[in-house]
């Protein structure tokens, strides 16, 4: 139970971040989740440690993305840099999933069937800068691939379900951001940060359950 109690720390930081908007709290949610995963590394074999390092990388790159988006002000390229940070985070999520399974072709096909037309018909016409347009397209594609890989995880039901839910929450949060930034729709803005922070907590919980002695799939 002590291992699971660690999640109370990033959960509390998430509440503080939501109520204050203070940047250290915002960065503290993925940062604290990364530290929790780091505590899991020591007793594991080298191959499994590499899997967790992929997620630690993902949380670290999420902090980079958060920093740029929170400090962009009127600097347009900070937004692209933030997208780049989250793109690298998705590479970490993808790496972890592929080390524990393979991507779902059906899942990828369905995701692309939804998100490619969304980009082509709605987002692309609304984005004036070419660099930002390319960044959004690349990010959209890596998000679809990372989620398809999560769907293809070969792990026990609860472990896989929580990990997939975490990636779904990331994609959901990002989709709402696209509504806000490019389509001028603000009705769901209040869900952006709660779903984003919950994604980190759920992914971390998946790992803590996976490495319980009774559920170990090392």
CB 94 within 8 A of CB 85: no
- Closest by CA to 93, choosing from 12, 35, 30, 14, is 30
Strand partners, 153: 101
Answer whether 0.75 is exceeded by the pTM: yes
Beta bridge partners of 101: 153
pLDDT band of residue 216 (cuts 50, 70, 90) is: very low
Closest CA to 191 of 174, 204, 203: 174
The label of the residue with tokens 């993925």 reads: 30
Query: Do 30 and 66 touch, CB atoms closer than 8 A?
Result: yes
Residues contacting 211, CB < 8 A, separation 6+: 40, 44, 218
Residue 122 phi/psi, 5-degree rounding, is -115, -50
Amino acid 213: pLDDT:
65
- Work out the percent of the chain whose per-residue pLDDT is above 90: 86
Residue with more model confidence, 154 or 215:
154
CA 176-80-20 angle, to 5 degrees, is: 55
Tens-place pLDDT, residues 27-84: 999 999 999 999 988 888 888 899 999 999 999 999 999 999 999 887 889 999 999 9
pLDDT tier for residue 215 given thresholds of 50, 70 and 90: very low
Residue keyed to tokens 């992914």: 203
Q: What is the mean pLDDT of the chain?
A: 94
Please say if the pLDDT value at position 212 is more than 90: no
pLDDT band at 138 (very low <50, low <70, confident <90, very high): very high
- State the Cα–Cα distance between residues 170 and 59, nearest whole angstrom: 12
Architecture of the domain defined by 2-215: Up-down Bundle (1.20)
**Quick count: other Cβ atoms within 10 Å of Cβ 196?**
24
Please tell me the predicted confidence (pLDDT) of residue 8.
96
Cβ 211 vs Cβ 162: under 8 Å: no
| Structure-token match 């369905």, residue found | 110
Side-chain half-sphere exposure of 78, counting CA atoms within 13 A:
10
pLDDT tens digits for 144-165? Answer: 999 999 999 999 899 999 999 9
Taking the C-alpha atoms of residue 66 and residue 86, their distance in angstroms, rounded to an integer, is: 8
| Percentage of residues in the chain having pLDDT higher than 70 | 97
- What per-residue confidence (pLDDT) applies to 56? 97
Phi-psi region of 184 (alpha: psi -120 to 50; beta: other; left: phi over 0): left
């Amino acid at each position: 139970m002590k291992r699971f109690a660690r999640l109370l720390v990033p959960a509390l930081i998430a509440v503080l971040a939501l109520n204050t908007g203070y940047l250290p709290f915002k960065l503290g949610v993925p940062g604290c989740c990364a530290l929790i995963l780091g505590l899991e590394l020591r007793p594991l074999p080298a191959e499994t440690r590499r899997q967790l390092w992929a997620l630690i990388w993902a949380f670290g790159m999420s902090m980079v993305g958060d920093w740029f988006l929170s400090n962009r002000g009127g600097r347009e390229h900070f937004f692209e840099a933030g997208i780049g940070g989250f793109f690298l985070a998705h590479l970490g999520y993808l790496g972890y999933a592929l080390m524990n399974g393979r991507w779902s072709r059906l899942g990828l096909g369905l995701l692309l069937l939804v998100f490619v037309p969304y980009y082509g018909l709605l987002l692309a016409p609304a984005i004036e800068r070419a660099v930002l347009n390319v960044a959004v397209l690349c990010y959209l594609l890596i998000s679809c691939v990372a989620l398809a890989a999560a769907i293809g995880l070969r792990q026990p039901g609860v472990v896989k379900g929580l990990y997939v839910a975490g990636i779904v929450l990331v994609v959901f949060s990002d989709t709402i951001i696209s509504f806000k930034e490019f389509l001028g729709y603000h009705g769901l803005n209040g869900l952006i940060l709660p779903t984003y922070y919950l994604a980190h907590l759920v992914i971390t919980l998946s790992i803590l359950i996976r490495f319980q002695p009774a559920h170990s799939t090392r």
